[in-house]
Every structure is written in structure tokens, then in C-alpha cells.
Structure 1
């Protein structure tokens, strides 16, 4: 019997207030080449800890349209709905994925369907963008199909952080087998790159924030969906709300919402990490990724 724990209440900010994270200067989007790697890893050896949504849990209210949200800017906002990909066997086994291309497992596919049905009942988005890694791509394609969107636009700038020499390793083995890379991975220095071609947090932030504004520029005043990864999503929220750190976890297929001013580019965090749609599938509380060491 797998232990259960109660779901934390999602963090929600009012439309006119900031919630969690420091905005790096936006730079030109960079192109990344997929790193070759093994397929999905083995099933977790220990019993996973499942976290379930409350049966009566309701997600944070979402505006019916992006233009209905007004803050101090007094203009229109683009509503960006950000979804983390569904669970993979590597998440369950606590394997560091980074740019390696693990697929969704059965639970992850169920989570993708659940979040897709949730989004299909809300205001229809005009477009859906996704990381081109399989776990995000399949999640996005499921959402597009159920929400009756014509296609998914794939952008490598929405990928997870590249973790260099640690990619494909279990977290518990990284400190002893790749000590230098592990030290860089857990470093608090945002300019610290990881040996083996890994990115620094600043580099990750620059590419994903630049991508966010590039997409918003195409869809001013509208509602769009981005499907990405735990580390990337945390950096987007760090940019959106620089004064408050994010202490919670961005679980698989959690829904977060950022409003971006069409006139000033100012961001407002409306909701963070909502998983009220996962009442039946639940989420692995001890799965790797989605926290400060996400990958």
C-alpha cells in the first residue's frame, strides 16, 4: 500500500499582485541540439509516495479572457497558462533527465488527459507551445487534441536545463560518481555551469524568458498554453515575481498562470502549481524534478 498525503493548497495571487521570483535580461533565443541518451529508465525500486488532490479541491479561478485582467498597467494582458509535462519512469526512479528524451509512463499519460480535460472546460486558448522533448511534446499533443487546437508549436527554448555529466544518473549516485558536476548542480551561484556541457541557471533563465516574450509578442491580449519542465517553469516564475522565492514543488501536469502586460511586459503571477485536476491519478510526492534541483 503506497502512503498517501494531503495536497497542499495551490498558491494563488490576485490579478493586481505579485507572487513568487529575479528577472534576467532577455536575450536572443538560443538553439540547442538534443543530447543522445538512453530511453526511459527502470521502475522505482522503492514504494513511491503518492500525493492526491482533495476530492472537493477546486483550482484557482482563471479569467475568462486575458484582456479582462487589468493591473496597474491599465492595459491588456496576455494570459500564459504553463503546464509541466506528465510523469515519466525517470521521474519515478529519481533519474536526472535534463535534455535526455524519456517518454511519459502510463501515469503520466493519464495525468496529461486529466489536465487536458481541465483546460478544455476553461476559456479556449489560441495556441499551444511546447518543449520538443518527448515528455513535454506528448503532454502538449494530448492537450491540443482534447482542447481542439490545430497543432502544437515546438520550441527547444522551452526545454529543461541541460545538466551536463549528470544526465541519466540517479540523484543518489551523482555526488559520489560525478562530484564536480554534482557540486555545480547544487551550487547557489546562478552563473555556475555544469561540467559536460550543462547550463547555468542564468543561461536557462535567459533562453526561457526570451522565449516567453517572443511568444507573447505574437499573441497579445490572448490566452496561450506553454508545456515545459520543472526547472524551466521555476525560472519563468522567478522572472515574474522576483521578490518572493518559490518554496513549493511544480508537480507533473501542474497548472500555473502568468499574466504579461501587452504594454510594459510586466508579469503578474495568478496561480502556481495547481493540481486539483489530479484527483484520480495523484502525483508522486517523491518523484525527481519540480523542486529547486529540478531536471
Structure 2
């Protein structure tokens, strides 16, 4: 059984390449193209509050090998290790990124190295997939290099939610500058689209969950890494665990693990939001993204 995603294609990216030269097209709405230029983010922000990561996340354990996970689940489960991209200056400045293509900052690059070294000590994955946005692609390149993987498969279906007219604004300013988009963004209706070409939560869920099952179909019983974004990861968690709401935050380069059966589609959440590898860099507690307002 194959779940198909007709609007997205994948691109192979050698890990040593420092930048993404080409991207596959993905058009969830008429205004979903990635902007060519962005307003500069402030060099620093007085709101930044960095905290040291715990040595071990409460109730979470290190990821086991694919075979161990599959045996424990009692089926042909693929172990999907999901990593959020490293920190960007826009995260620190609380600017809504969405599909805008912000790059990692220095802390984000250090976080990418930290999570890569963590994953390199675990069972080697069969493949690594990533959103084609720079902040995710660079994180994935770092992981691929340190884990000795031949390439990164870029897939636009793993992008963050498109936030329409709110993209590029500070979240605190959106209510006054884009009131209609802000109201739509905070709506509890999952079919509510955002003015300016923004996606509804249902649209986001459909594309990222379809992508997940396409990956699982290609890697039955194996271990794969997926690098994506806060909002997208929360939707994947919601699909995998619909009766247990996610109250915590998906921090930059946090690790979540979901076991997925290619035969039945059954999902088991094995780990969510673990940041025990970020002892040196810490995390921004009040950075924008990773929670229910993630973008």
C-alpha cells in the first residue's frame, strides 16, 4: 500500500554542500512561494532567556535501534526519528517564519552538531529526509555528514505551515498589523485558512502525514531520520497520538521518535521533544515556535 503525495517531489542533496542549490516545487496555495528576500532580524533581543537542557528529559529514554523498536511493537514498524531544525535569529527575535527561508544562527549550528553526534552513537539510519527550507536542510546536512550518510532527501511536504500574511512579522505585532490573519491563525477551527495564502491545520496535517507514510513505505522495518519544523512535528505527533494532547514545547533540535507500521498505519510514540543532548548550548525558553503557535 502506497500513500501518494502528488504535489511534492524529492531532491537528493550531498551532505558536504553548505547551501541548497535547488528545491522541489510545492504549492499548497497560490501564495506559497518562498520569498526571495527578508527584512533583517535584530542582532539581539532583550527577551532572550536561555536555559540549560536537562540531562535526561522526564519520562523519555534514548532511542533504541530499529530492530529493537520493531520487535517491541510487535510488527513491521519503521522507526522514524524526527528532529526539529536548529535555532535561527528569527526564532530568538520571535519573528514568524513559516515558509520564509531564514538560516541557522551560530547557536543553531552548534545545536545541529550536538544532535548529530547524539544520533551518530545510535543505530545507523537507512536514510535522512528534510524540509527543503534552509534552516532544516542545513541541520540535516550536518547530521548526514557526522552520521556518514550519503545524501539528504529534500521534500517540500516537510515544510513548516504557511502562515500567509503573518509571515515575517513579530508575533506580538501581528494582531495590530494583520488582524484578520491573526484571528484566523488563533482560530480553533482546523479547516481555517489564513489570509495571504496560509494553510489550515488540516492542510498541513494532510501533506506532512502523507509524506510520513510515503517515507515509511520506502523503508519498511528500517530506521530513518526526518528533519522538519515545530508546527509540522506537532501535527505528526497529533496524528500518532490523537488522544494525548502535546502540552510541551518542541525545542530546536529536539528529538522525537515514532514507530509506524507500513502495513496497518499504526503509530506508537516512543519519545517526544528530548533535548538531553543540548547541555552546552541550552535552549531558548521563550523563542517563537515549537508550541501551539509554532510557525
Instruction: Please confirm whether the aligned pair reaches a TM-score higher than 0.5, indicating the same fold.
Output: yes
3-state DSSP class of the match of 1:69? helix
Q: Matches of residues 273-284 of structure 1 in structure 2 within 5 Å?
A: 273-284=273-284
Question: Structure 1 pair 39/177, CA: closer, same or farther in 2 (3 Å)?
Answer: closer
Structure 2 gaps of 5+ residues are 8-25
Report the equivalent of 1:268: 268
Report the equivalent of 2:199: 199
Q: Matches of 2:261 and 2:61 in 1, distance apart?
A: 20
Q: Matches of 1:86 and 1:140 in 2, distance apart?
A: 10
Q: Matches of 2:67 and 2:103 in 1, distance apart?
A: 32
Q: Deviations over 1:234-255 (max 9, x none)?
A: 0000000000110000000000
Q: Matches of 1:286 and 1:262 in 2, distance apart?
A: 37
Q: Matches of 1:102 and 1:162 in 2, distance apart?
A: 14
Q: Matches of 2:149 and 2:57 in 1, distance apart?
A: 27
8 Å CA contact 2:98, 2:161 repeated in 1: yes
1:263 Cα deviation from its structure 2 partner: 2.0
Q: Deviations over 1:98-146 (max 9, x none)?
A: 0000000000000000000000000000100000000000000000000
- TM-score, structure 1 normalization: 0.87
8 Å CA contact 2:86, 2:135 repeated in 1: yes
Q: Matches of 1:98 and 1:267 in 2, distance apart?
A: 27
Q: Matches of 1:157 and 1:66 in 2, distance apart?
A: 27
Report the equivalent of 1:217: 217
Report the equivalent of 1:69: 70
Question: Structure 1 pair 57/273, CA: closer, same or farther in 2 (3 Å)?
Answer: closer
Aligned-CA RMSD value: 1.7
8 Å CA contact 1:67, 1:221 repeated in 2: no
Report the equivalent of 1:23: none
1:28 corresponds to 2:8? no
Q: Matches of 1:132 and 1:186 in 2, distance apart?
A: 26
1:150 corresponds to 2:146? no
1:168 corresponds to 2:168? yes
3-state DSSP class of the match of 1:95? coil
Q: Matches of residues 14-53 of structure 1 in structure 2 within 5 Å?
A: 28-30=5-7, 31-32=26-27, 34-36=33-35, 37-38=37-38, 41-53=41-53
- TM-score, structure 2 normalization: 0.87
Q: Matches of 2:238 and 2:56 in 1, distance apart?
A: 30
Report the equivalent of 2:102: 102
Q: Deviations over 1:58-110 (max 9, x none)?
A: 961322224643466x3221000000000000000000000000000000000
